[in-house]
Structure formats: structure tokens, C-alpha cells
Structure 1
Amino acid sequence: MRRSTIKDVAALAQVSLKTVSRVINDEPSVQARTKERVQQAIAELGYQPDPSARSLRSAQSYAIGLIYDNPNPYYVIAVQSGVLSVCRETGYGLQIHPCDSTSPTLAAEIIELVRHARLAGIVLAPPMSERQALVAELIAHGIHLVRIVSAAADPQDGTACVYVDDRDAAYEITEYLIQLGHGRIGFLWGGKSHGSSWERYKGYADALRDYGIALDPELVVEGDYSFDDGFRGARRLLTLAERPTAIFGSNDEIAAGVLAAAKSSGMNVPYDLSIAGFEDSPFSKQSWPALTTAKQATEEIARHAARRLLQEIRDQPTLAQPNEGFSPQLVVRGSTAPPRPKG
């Protein structure tokens, strides 16, 4: 038989995973009626929590962890800077832990890290933050965590997070290109393991639909959040019989790769090809022409995630705290312009 999980207990008791964790760890913040319902579900399912879970927070700790796996160094540096600034303000240490998000032993690796380094909690960056099974297992082991996720609205799944509305920002970028007069707009994906890639694609697709433009699968190319994939994807799009007049890269590294491909083909940007990126990283400002993009306050997002984590650790609030959301803003620069008139 399959062993019952904390997720099964939460579903049966109709509470959040965090509430189950608080009952397991005998925290005083749970109402008596709710606690009784959770305990009844545990008994009914025969659920047995890891006995080491309660020892994770048995002594006060003044260090937190940042767990990430991202090929974009500018994103990683910004997240690290944001979390570290809060740690310095509050007297906490920071353990930075890069990892392989595809590893089958990732949960055990993180749990061991928390135990060994005696971390009070962790900030979980994408794509690990968007893997529900991983999050559930970490919570089951009594680990305080706050997730940074891509979502159009508060996920409201009972876990603490800071969410970024990539979809709305991608819609705004695509809408801007359409309003310039572009009808054939290419889209280059980031890594599909990242929720942000899906949200940015949805924003692109929604804008095309709302403006009555058919989505051409030929104009959509899969890849990763890297300069090389931007270059390769652009080369592929620019060899089409009817090539795009604009390309939207899922981040600025991809868009910089598109720019390099366009220049290597002798194209004039933005008049032969308009290019837009996402995130407002140094790539967007250092390129020539500078890239139209969506300004994402990555460092500030990370600061909010760290502050929320310390609130969870210190206060253990009895009421669910509202999750904070951020919306990247369109920044128009020299890489976009109306398409050349035909003929």
C-alpha cells in the first residue's frame, strides 16, 4: 500500500499543509477544533511523520538558506543581494545553496542542508519553488520556507510566497509590438521547468488572441534562458520563408542572443527586426541598441521573500498572511520600432 503523506492529511482535514505541519510540531497557534480535525485525519490515515522533523527547530537558529537553480547569473546575483541585505539588517547569516532542480534526491539534499547548517528556514527560488511535491515534503519535515513563484494571482495554496505576474507583463510587451504594427511576432521560450516561461508564453498568446492574430506555431521556438538559445532560436526564425518582423525573447539573455543573430545576418535593428526581452537585466542596457523589456524588481522581490520568511520564523502568525505580488513594467528602448513598409 502507498504510504500516507502530509498532503493526504491536509486534503482529508481540509486544511493547508502548513496547518498540518503546525499540528505535528505541536505549535500553539492552531485552533483546538482545527487541531482535533487534523489529529483525527492523521489517525484515520495512519500517517507517521518523520520523528526528526520536530528537532529541526528545537533550538533558536540565526541563519537562513537560499536554494536556487537558474542558468541566468544576473537573476541569481540579484536574488542573492536581496536576501543578503535583509540578513544583514536583522543579524541573520545566509547559506547559499545552488542545486540541480532535476535531482531525484533533491528533497533529501535540502533537508540534510537545513539539519547540518541548522537553518531557521529557506527562501526557495524557481523552479524548485513551483514543485508542489517538493514543497510538501519540506514542510512535512518542519522546514519554514517562503517561495518565489511566477503567477498571475496569489496561488492561495496555504504556503507563504512572493509571486510575480509575468503573464500580464508579457501581454503588455506583445501588445506594444502589435500596436507598433507587427503582425508576425516570434516567441522564444525559456526553460519549460520554470513557471515564468509558461506565464510569459500565456501572456504572449493572450495578446495575440485579443488582437485577432492567429498564433502560428512556426513562430514559437523552445529553448532555455540563455544567450546561446536566443541566438539559435533567432537563426531558425530568420530562415523562415515569411520571417517575423519582431521577436520576443523570454528574458534579456535570450533577446541579446536574438540581437547577435540579427546583426550576423546583416539586419538593421529595429527597422528590419524589432526585439524585446524581459527582466531589465544588464544585458538589456548594455546591448546596442538597448533592449525594450519588462523591468522586474528581482532584488526587491527577494528582499520581500526574506522578510516574509523571518516573519514566519519569529511570529508564527495564527492567521494566514496575505502573499505579496509584483508586476514587471514595460520599458521601451531602441530595439523596437514600427516594421518597414512593404514594397
Structure 2
Amino acid sequence: MSEGRSSRRSSQAITMGMVAERAGVSPMTVSNIINNRKRVLESTRAAVMKAIDELGYVPNFAAQALASAASIRVGFLYHNIENAFLSALLVGALSGTTRKGAQLLIRPYETLDLDIIRNELKALIRSGANGILLGAPVCEMLDELGRDAFDVPLMAMAPGAEVVGVPSVMIDNVAAAREMTDHLLAMGHRRIAFIRASPEHLVRASRYEGYSDALAAAGIVIDPTLVVDGTMTFESGLAAAAILLNRTDRPSAIFASTDDMAAAVVSVAHRMGFRVPEDLSVVGFDDSPIAIKIWPTLTTVRQSGSAIAERATIELIERLRAPSIRSLDPIYLPHQLVHRGSVAAPSAARSRRIAPVR
């Protein structure tokens, strides 16, 4: 074998990812520099060219042209795969990449630690992700993470409110919570309790805002003791329900910020001897699978995680293929109030006292 052929085979074994790792940048940055697609710092360009020279990398422009036409890689950072809404987001992202002929790269993070999340995002980029899909609450933490550290396009999925500087696909959480509260008011409820979401989620504020707006429009002054904090889990819903239902002046309806917490309220109500919905109406948010697994089935707000993720994925891929698309305006998908068996008009029986639950 000649020296020239051996050298050529060696250079072909060197990948753009290896160059990116040597230069300490993302593969997209290497691609932009090689193809003169984007202005970069001269120090960055110098580092990439030095890595190319040291590794003997020879760009395969034919392969790059083919890849740019079809093989876009979309990164997806996830946590708690057992969460039903997250599973729906994954299904939607997979559907979107399949429809657009792209690849989906997924990577987990263990906790909401900024350093861990930052490192996992960078690992996704090093593995070849051209753009990244971010669900809540990570998409809502970009200022703390330092968004400038990630030189690939980002897309937020189902944030609780608009994320400044990042395009997103979402529902109008304020409007949805307002409509659900209006529904309870129309049924005759006036003492409506609210279980808020975790502080790290923007839905804590947006869904509470919708609840507050509806009560204010009805001329009802919010009783702060009827607003209880949760962490969006079933367990936190148990604790919140115990606080609300052990009151002598308990509410006639409870609006929980997630279906898991609403299901917990129904469970506690049953244990205390209250009938749902005759003695207590309960509503949730998201229309997750648990909404139809409890009795009575849960009245809730439906937002389709799969539809949100599929639209977000397609939008991100289109932006990657047409960088001239730069709008940061959020894309709002419709929500729906799903009426089931957990809501009825308030009953005079709600004033009866039941033995406390601990």
C-alpha cells in the first residue's frame, strides 16, 4: 500500500466531531467555519484550523452536502421518563424527526443541578446535535445556565410562559386556567382552592394568574389560605389536600395545577368520607393518563404534549435548514377543557365535618 493511500485513509477516519473536541467547540461551529456560513471569533477560527491541521482532517464536501439535505440531528434533554407528559413529548419529537428525515439524539439528566444540566447539554452538542429541544423547567432556566454557552439553536417545548430569546411551542396557560376557574364559577362554586406548581416552573405563576383573574372578574376576593403549594407530584397533592380538607370552612372545589396532584386530592377526599363531586369538585391540568384511571374521572385542561413536541421539532428542523428563519414569537397550540365526572354544583353537605386525615 502506497504512503499516499495510507495517508488518505487515515485522514478519512478523522471526523468533524473529533476536530470539535480537539478545538473545544461544537461540531456545528466546525461546520460553519469550514463552509464560511457564520462569522465567528478569530480565536475560535484559529483553534479549529489548528485542530484540523494537527489531526489531518479532510472535509468530505459531498457527504456534507448530503447530510445538510437530510441528516440533521436534533437533541432532546430529558428527566424522569416515567412522567406521562414527558413521554408524550418524546413521542412527538420522534414523530417530528421521522417526518422530516432527521435523527433524534436523547440524553438524560439526573437532577435540576445547573452544572449537571449544562454538562449534559454540551455533551449533546459534542455528540453531533445541530439543535436542541428543551422541555420545562430546563427551557425556563437558560439565563441561569448561560445560554451563550450553547452555540446551536434551541427550541422550548411547553414552557409555562414565553421564554425570552428562545422560540417556543406552547399553550396559553393563563387563558386555560382562567377558563377552568370560570367553569367552576359557572357551576356555582365560590370557595375555590388552588394548588400551585413547583417554584422552578413558570406554570406556577401563569396558572395561578389565570385562576386569580377569573376570581377577580367575578368579584371574589382571593382567600390566601385557600392557595397551597405543591411540587407537581402525587405525594405533594396528598399533603395539600389534607391541609385544605381538614379546614372547618373547607372549599367546595379544588383546582390543582397538575393531574397528579388532582388525583391525590380525590384520593384524600375518598379517605375522609367526602363524595366527589357531590361534596367536593376537583379539577386538574394536562389531561395525563391518570385523569381517566381514577374514579370519578377527572375534569381537566388538555394540552397535547405529543402535538407540542412534534410542532417544536419540525419548527427547529426548518430553522436549521433555513437559518434565515429567526422569529422568536411563541407558537400557541390550542388547549381544551375536558369535562368528566369530578365536577358538580356545590352541595349543602360540604359543611359537614369529617374526621381529619393525617
**TM-score category, normalised to shorter length:** 0.7 to 0.9
Q: Which moved more, 1:326-335 or 1:111-120?
A: 111-120
Distance 1:219 1:176, change over 3 A: same
Match of residue 186 from structure 1: 193
Q: Which residue of 2 aligns with 1:167?
A: 174
Equivalent residue, structure 2, for 1:7:
none
> Aligned residues, how many?
303
Task: Structure 2: give runs of 5+ residues left out of the alignment.
Answer: 1-27, 52-58, 352-358
Structure 1 residue 308 displacement after superposition = 0.9
8 Å CA contact retained: 2:135, 2:156: yes
Give the Cα–Cα distance (whole angstroms) in 2 for the partners of residues 51 and 193 of structure 1.
40
Q: Which amino acid aligns with 2:287?
A: D
Counterpart in the other structure of 2:139? 129
**Contact kept? 1:71, 1:226, Cα under 8 Å:** no
Do the aligned residues in 1 keep the contact of 2:108 with 2:120 (CA within 8 Å)?
Answer: no
Does 196-205 or 143-152 show the bigger shift? 143-152
| Structure 1 residue 132 displacement after superposition | 3.5
The answer (yes or no) to whether the contact 2:173–2:207 under 8 Å persists in 1 is yes
CA offsets 1:7-30 (integer angstroms, 9 cap, x no match): xxxxxxxxxxxxxx99xx679889
Q: Is the 8 A contact 1:111 1:138 kept in 2?
A: no
Query: Residue type of the partner of 1:124?
Result: L
Identical counterparts, % of pairs: 32
Paired AA for residue 72 in structure 2: Y
Structure 1 segment 28-67 matched on structure 2, within 5 A: 60=67, 62-67=72-77
* CA displacement at 1:101 relative to structure 2: 5.6
2:309 counterpart residue number = 302
Per the TM alignment, residue 115 of structure 1 is displaced from its structure 2 partner at its CA by: 3.6
Contact kept, 8 Å, 1:69 with 1:126, in 2: the verdict is no
Cα distance change of structure 1 residues 268 and 83 upon mapping to structure 2, 3 Å threshold: same
Larger radius of gyration between Structure 1 and Structure 2: 2
Q: 1:53 to 1:87 in 2, by over 3 A?
A: farther
The one of 210, 222, 226 equivalent to 1:215 is 222
- Please tell me the root mean square deviation across aligned C-alpha atoms, in Å: 3.1
1:87 is aligned to 2:94: no
SS at match of 2:132: strand
| 2:333 corresponding residue in structure 1 | 326
- 1:269-308 aligned at under 5 Å gives the runs 269-308=276-315
TM-score (norm: length of structure 2): 0.75
Q: Please identify, of 259-268 and 313-322, the stretch whose mean Cα deviation from structure 2 is larger.
A: 313-322
Q: Is the 8 A contact 2:167 2:330 kept in 1?
A: yes
Q: Which amino acid aligns with 1:120?
A: N
1:78 paired with 2:88, answer yes
TM-score by length of 1: 0.79
CA distance in 2, matches of 1:340, 1:87: 50
Gaps of 5+ in 1: 1-20
Question: 1:256 is matched by which residue type in structure 2?
Answer: A
